[in-house]
Amino acid sequence: MRPTSTRAADRGDTEQVVGRRTRIHGVDLIRVSLFTLVLMVHATGSINWDPDHVRGMQFFTMMVHIARYGFVFVTGFVLFLAYYRSPITASTFWRRRYGFVAAPYLAWSVIYVITGYAFVREPWPDAAGVTGDIGTALLQGNAQYQMYFLLISMQIYLLFPLVRMLLRRTEGHHGKVMAGAVAIQAGMFTLFSFYHPDLDWYGHMWKTLPTYALFLVGGALAAVHYERFAPWVRRNRHWLMPLSLAGAAFTVVMFFVTTGDGHIPGLAYAAWSVQNLPWYLGAVALFFIVGQAWDDRRGDGTGWGARLVDYGAVRAFGIFAVHPLVIDLIHQSGFVDWLYATYPDTTLQRSILLVLVTLVASLCLVELILYTPLARVLVAHDRIRPRRKPRAGGESTIPPASKADACAEPAPAVPAEPAPSATAPEAGAPAHGSPEHAGAAAR
């Protein structure tokens, strides 16, 4: 991926790098691609847990777990590209970053707790119970199945000054830092794969930053050494791509070897399974290579592909935030029942239509929010104001040249992810159209 100058830091992928402004457009493509995969797995995962499709759904979910690790890599890459050599203080950094992520985290945690009561249609708890549920959701990041990633992002922001200090003080020895991150990553995956104590707090350990150590440090070092790292990747694509594909093949083979009809052990699909780590590493490398290729062929940004990616990048965080609500509303509307009545014999048409409707409805909702005073709170983006018609005999008064430029501060380069630990519903689980089933991919 190749940096190009820009005049505004509008989405967190555009910041100061050793004294100059730069944007790496490939980051936008990666983020939009990952968000699209996340929406797909959550939409399809709300209907495909019957015995005939559970194995395929678990496989798809396992593959899309790459999104969480890809987002951590991108977040580390963006932050260190922006701030590694910047004189910005910890307090200023925290104020800027938390200024974008804290309000949406609070707002959507409350929204999802409340809508959870409404969709279940059971008696609501009293005020103390509601307050307690909201407090728990904020502490555990589980108001909805994607909210945990904002919790991880806030940990990254919290520890960024410390990690930056570590990398500055170990310059010339970053290989040892990377080796330490590899050891932590392997240790966490091994621990979660083979040690399962009956402890409530242990069940939340996967939301802590050590679980993503290699991807955070890898993204950070890719940014710190970008001037050497990017050309090295370009020169070595001929073996990096086959190696990455080999990692993917290993994980795919292991999944189908260890699973069968009615037998799907957690180690086969868990996001922190040691046998899935080769896929996560290979996929991050492939996304980086594809991002570079996009930079090389993107041109001046006026083509339809470039405009589409730019449009999606501005709305990516909003899609991350709203799409579980949209999926729940679609289930409540009876649309899923109509899908099953219209396409009773195949899940392909059902899944494609559900994904398309979820995507379009989510985009419409985000677009609406972007034009309201709640934009900053709900979608981490400054409000977009409509263009005004030219005044008679005078110049037109219009907002910044692009909607992206309306954002004066970078929005969180984080968000979303497939459900944390998708497991198949047991016999007697909620029917495909029920509210309880709408979040099946997370359970």
pTM, 2 dp: 0.84
pLDDT value at position 423? 34
- Position 430 pLDDT exceeds 90: no
Cross-strand partners of 15 = 22
Region 375-387: mean pLDDT is: 90
pLDDT band at residue 11 using 50, 70 and 90 as cut-offs = very low
Tally of CB atoms within 10 A around 435: 16
Which tops the pLDDT comparison, 172 or 413?
Answer: 172
**Mean pLDDT across the chain:** 85
Region 176-185: mean pLDDT is: 97
pLDDT value at position 385? 85
pLDDT value at position 67? 96
Which tops the pLDDT comparison, 298 or 274?
Answer: 274
Region 126-137: mean pLDDT is: 94
CB 146 within 8 A of CB 71: no
Q: What is the pLDDT of residues 317-361, one digit of tens each?
A: 999 999 999 999 999 999 999 999 999 888 999 999 999 999 999
pLDDT band at residue 404 using 50, 70 and 90 as cut-offs = very low
Region 59-84: mean pLDDT is: 96
3-state secondary structure 292-328: HHHHHHCCCCCCHHHHHHHHHHHHHHHHHHHHHHHHH
Which tops the pLDDT comparison, 399 or 73?
Answer: 73
pLDDT band at residue 392 using 50, 70 and 90 as cut-offs = low
**Residues with Cβ within 8 Å of residue 304, at least 6 apart in sequence:** none
CB 256 within 8 A of CB 264: no
CB 380 within 8 A of CB 317: yes
Give the H/E segment covering residue 232.
helix 226-235
- Position 255 pLDDT exceeds 60: yes
Q: What is the pLDDT of residues 120-131, one digit of tens each?
A: 867 889 999 999
Give the H/E segment covering residue 14.
strand 14-17
pLDDT value at position 297? 87
pLDDT value at position 349? 93
- Position 428 pLDDT exceeds 60: no
- Position 174 pLDDT exceeds 60: yes
- Position 439 pLDDT exceeds 70: no
Region 289-302: mean pLDDT is: 89
- Position 157 pLDDT exceeds 80: yes
State the alpha helices, DSSP H only, in 3-126. 25-44, 54-64, 66-83, 90-120
Region 41-69: mean pLDDT is: 94
pLDDT value at position 302? 84
| CA separation for the pair 367, 352 (Å, rounded) | 22
Q: What is the pLDDT of residues 189-239, one digit of tens each?
A: 999 999 988 888 898 999 999 999 999 999 999 999 999 999 999 999 999
CA 189 to chain centre: 20
pLDDT value at position 206? 94
Percent of the chain past pLDDT 70, that is, above it, reads 82
Give the H/E segment covering residue 267.
helix 266-269
- Position 19 pLDDT exceeds 90: no
- Position 403 pLDDT exceeds 50: no
| CA separation for the pair 310, 301 (Å, rounded) | 9
pLDDT band at residue 3 using 50, 70 and 90 as cut-offs = low
Give the H/E segment covering residue 23.
strand 20-23
